[in-house]
Structure formats: C-alpha cells, structure tokens
Structure 1
Amino acid sequence: MASASRVRLYLDLIRWDRPAGWLLLLWPTLSALWIAASGFPGWHLLVVFTLGTFLMRSAGCCVNDVADREFDKHVKRTAQRPVTSGALSVRQALLFGAVLALLAFALVLTTNAAAIAWSFAALAISLAYPYAKRYVSMPQAVLGVAFSFGIPMAFAAVQSRVPLLAWVLLLGNLFWVLAYDTEYAMVDRDDDLRIGMKTSAITLGRADVAVVMCCYGAYLAIWSGVLLQRMAPAVVAGAIALAGAQAAWHFALIRDRSREGCFKAFRLNHWLGFTVFAGVVAGYALR
C-alpha cells in the first residue's frame, strides 16, 4: 500500500493525469518530423520523438517543482505539489528527473550525431527555464524556446543538419507558446504579483489579451507560410482555418480574464496544435 502511494506521488510529480502539457510539445515536434522528412518519417523516429517528448517534459516538471518549491507554497493551485508539500524530497525529485532525462538521452543515441549534439543544447535550455522567472520579465519567451526545441532536433535526426527552415518553424512555434503560457500566467497573476514572480501576464498588464491574440496570429501566419510551399493550399487553408477558429474561441474565454476561462483556454491549446499537425499529415498524404 505504501509503495502504491509512493508511485502516485511520482506520477503527480510528472503531471501524469494532465497530458495536455506534454502534448503541447509533441504536436509541433511531430509536425517538424513530417516536414523534415517530406512525409511519414518512419516508425523508429516517430517512437523516439514521442517517448522522448514525454520523458523530457516529465523531467522538466521535476526540475521546475524543485526550483519553484518556495514560490509554489504561496499559490493555491500549486501548494500541494509533491515537492512543495514535502511529500517528496528535493533529492528524490532530482534523481527521478535525472533518470527520466537519461532515458530520453538513450533514445537520442539511437538517431545520429547531429541529433545527439543538439540534445545538449535542448537540455541546457530546459534547465535554464525554471530560473528565468526570477530574472526575465517575459520568462514565457524562454519557455517558448525550450518547448520548441523538438523542431531543430527533428530536423537534425532526419537530415543530419538544422536548416533555416527549422528556425523559422521554431520562431512561429515560440509565438504559440507565448500565447498559451501567457493564458496560463493570467490564472496566477494575483498570486505571482504578491510573491514577486515575473511573468508575461504581469509585464503586459491590460495588453495581455491583445498580445495573446497577436501571438496566435503570428504563429498561424508563419506556419501557414511554410506549409503553403509544401502541400496543397486547400489542405493548409482548412487546417489553419480550424486552428484560427479555436484561437477565436480562446479569445472568448480569456477576454474577461477570469481564472476559470484562462485556465480552460490553456488546457485546450493542445487541440489547436493537433489540428495543425493533422493538417501537415493530411497535406503530405494527399500531395
């Protein structure tokens, strides 16, 4: 019984019951795999990047909860996280995170030298993000790079290089991360102001909703520009229109800045990413 309770603590640590977090990383990464390979990238890379995304996001949760444990005590939504509440020690969380990261690295070792080399940069950015909230007024931009780094990794694994196209896609995806993580920050704005945390929701003030919508627009514009050069315009237009409709729905959810509406908009974002990914898959299949 005690062991089952311990397992539940570790599952809570990696947000096992909240898959939206790792799906936000998965869809742009898989989209990049398809674009880099001009179609289906093969089962090996599909499995490597799917499992690797889950493992690295889970490892990131371990580091993030250790870094934020003193802040999280003062935020109602996060006060009962395992490390914050003392149910798991800092050492236990970091060891578990290290094991997860090593498993992800073992997967990368089955790809090629370029992907292995870029994985160290991805790890460094992932470790830096939890501490950016103390010093950077828009830490969501740092998260945007971290959450988008599966894109250059995908190109490295497929093409053994990271072309300009990968960085263009990363830039577009960064705008999407800024949009949804600002929605997330809007949920905790009052608590973050009280404890001195830096977030985009605080920095932007009353411009938050407008900037979120502009970021959605920039993301969809950049990605549609890339996709229109590679597949049937009708498929791209359909996928982008559906994603844009979801973004418009998010505006309706966040415009009054209620905690419930902002949190719901954040949690629904993985469907927007899936819509773009589905458009990429369909576009190459029907090309």
Structure 2
Amino acid sequence: MRPDDWVERWLPRSWGPYARLCRLDRPVGTWLTLLPCLAALVQAADGWPALWRLFIFSLGALLMRGIGCTINDIFDRDIDQKVERTRFRPLTSGQLTLRNALYFLLGQLLVCALLLFAVNAYSRWLAVLLLPFVVVYPLCKRFTYWPQVVLGIAFNWGMLMAWSDTQNIVPIAAIAMWVGAVLWQVGYDSIYAYVDVRDDKELGLHSTAMRFADKGKQWISGFYIATVLLWLYAGIALHMAWGYYLVLAVIAGHFAWQMRIFDLARPDRNFMLFRANIWVGVLMIIAALGGTLMGN
C-alpha cells in the first residue's frame, strides 16, 4: 500500500477497485480537467460564478474524468497486463470483472445524464458532442501519433460549456482560450508520454512523444508558445484587466522553466513536470479573477 493511498485506508475494501478504476486515488487528472473549466466560469461570469454552477461543473469534471478512465481501462485491459506501471489496475489484475466495470460505467453515465438537467439546452447538446471524444480517445493510440489532441479536446470541453451555460453563447475569444488549453495539454501530456515510450514501442502503440522523438523540447515549446499567444489574444478580446496579463506572464515563465529542465532521459523528472501543470491551472483561475474583478 502506498503511504498516500487514502482509498485503501478509508473506503470499504469492496469499493476500492471501483475508486481506482475511475482514478479517485490519482486526482491529478481531475484537477487538470477542473481548473481550466473553473477559469472559464470566472471569465464567463465576469467575476465570481454562481455557487451552484461551480458545484455542477466540479462534479461534472470529476465524473467525466472517471468515465474516461473507466473506458480507457476497459479497452486497454489486455495491453495493461504487459506494462509494469499499469498491470495492477483493477481490470487487469482481476480485482474487477468486465461485467462489473461496464455496470459501473453505466452508473457514472447515468449520474452525468442527471447533471444535464442542471444546465441549459445549449450546454446539453455540447455535452452530447463530447461523448464520442471520450469514447474514441483510448483507441487513438492504436492508429495515430496524436492521441493527446483528442485527450486535450475532451479534457477541456468544460471550458466551452462554462460559457454556453453562463451566457448562452460561446464567443470566439472563449474558443481561443479552449484551443490554447488543448495545445497546453498536448504539451504537458507529451511530457508524460515520454515516460511510456519504451513500452509503447514494444506494444506497437503511438503517442506524440514517439512522433517528436529527440525533438520533444522544440515541439512542446512550440505548443506552449502557441498557448500563451492564444490566451493573450483571448484576454484582449475579452477586455481583461491588467491583472490577467500579469499572471499570464507568470504562466509563460512557468512554461519556460518546464522546458529548461525537461530531459528526455529523466522519466522521474518528466512525471514531476506533468504534475506541475496543476499550478498552471491554478494560475489560469487567478488570471481570470484578476482580469475580471480588477476591471469592475
């Protein structure tokens, strides 16, 4: 048992495999899904969003991340047996049967469906459009070097829904923020993908890390630069106050720091850099608050 394994410590033993299937014990992905969405809620509300909307979108981010992980493990249950990092996952190790995993997936989907009654019609249609990306993502690494793009689209979809539910529109500037977040995710998830390059090659899978090869620093730097430029444009188009640009400069500095210490030969460091992107999400929220509240 890991020292930080709260699932093992606090949940009934029969619940543990389900919690791990939806990655409740590994919340980094949930934070990386939620934080950009919260930033978009702040921008769309031009300040503090309604508490009930914060609750609905936070629960939605948690559930959609869990659904994505569940689908991923269902599709990858045979592949995961051959990778040291994943061979103890609930489906692969036999802690859960495929039937129970499918029932659990259906339950998560039903709860998400109930959340749709709490958003407007525009947002419901956007939620329906998201589902194909969530389903197809685990299959992408079998036929394309760019699965991280599909993941970025799915992970950050809540940013679009934040605008559609708050203002019943999704302006061009909001789409620019979203595209920037997608490119940001392609960058940081490529850093993470370098951890698995050796296993992916042996299994015949694909990733941006394999596509970038030894030019990873140049490619990822390009994605990070594009992210900052898109977020800069969005800030200008949304008439953000000066606080937004100050924090955006800090984000740019954080990206520069990542690229300075990024090392293809250091998987342990790369995983640390992947996790460090939680701070970028936090800074996005601070930037949105600075850009809205300082202008009011």
Taking structure 1 as the reference length, the TM-score comes to 0.94
Question: In structure 2, do the counterparts of structure 1 residues 174 and 195 end up closer, same or farther at CA, with 3 Å as the change threshold?
Answer: same
Correspondence list, 1:144-155, <5 A: 144-155=152-163
Partner of 1:196: 204
Does residue 209 of structure 1 match 2:209?
A: no
Correspondence list, 1:176-191, <5 A: 176-191=184-199
Q: Deviations for 1:174-227, whole angstroms, at most 9, x for unmatched residues?
A: 110101110111000001001001100001111112111211111122112212
CA distance in 1, matches of 2:175, 2:74: 31
* Shift, 1:256, TM fit: 4.1
Does residue 273 of structure 1 match 2:281?
A: yes
Correspondence list, 1:1-150, <5 A: 4-150=12-158
Partner of 1:163: 171
- Give, as a single letter, the amino acid of the residue that structure 1 aligns with 2:217: V
Does residue 231 of structure 1 match 2:240?
A: yes
- Give, as a single letter, the amino acid of the residue that structure 1 aligns with 2:287: G
* Maintained 8 Å contact 1:25/1:147: yes
Q: What root-mean-square deviation, in Å, do the aligned CA atoms of Structure 1 and Structure 2 show? A: 1.7
- Give, as a single letter, the amino acid of the residue that structure 2 aligns with 1:231: M
* Maintained 8 Å contact 1:144/1:173: yes
* Maintained 8 Å contact 1:253/1:264: no
Segments of 4+ moved more than 3 angstroms: none
Q: Percent identity?
A: 33
Aligned to 1:109, what secondary structure does the other structure show?
helix
Aligned to 1:188, what secondary structure does the other structure show?
helix
Among 228, 252, 255, the alignment partner of 1:247 is 255
Taking structure 2 as the reference length, the TM-score comes to 0.91
Q: Which runs of 5+ in 1 are unaligned?
A: none
- Give, as a single letter, the amino acid of the residue that structure 2 aligns with 1:285: L
CA distance in 2, matches of 1:257, 1:102: 43
* Shift, 1:257, TM fit: 3.2
CA distance in 2, matches of 1:135, 1:183: 20
- Give, as a single letter, the amino acid of the residue that structure 1 aligns with 2:116: V
- Give, as a single letter, the amino acid of the residue that structure 1 aligns with 2:162: A
* Maintained 8 Å contact 2:214/2:264: no
* Shift, 1:173, TM fit: 0.9
- Give, as a single letter, the amino acid of the residue that structure 1 aligns with 2:153: V
CA distance in 1, matches of 2:78, 2:260: 34
* Shift, 1:8, TM fit: 1.4
- Give, as a single letter, the amino acid of the residue that structure 2 aligns with 1:107: L
- Give, as a single letter, the amino acid of the residue that structure 2 aligns with 1:17: D
CA distance in 2, matches of 1:160, 1:199: 36
- Give, as a single letter, the amino acid of the residue that structure 1 aligns with 2:241: A
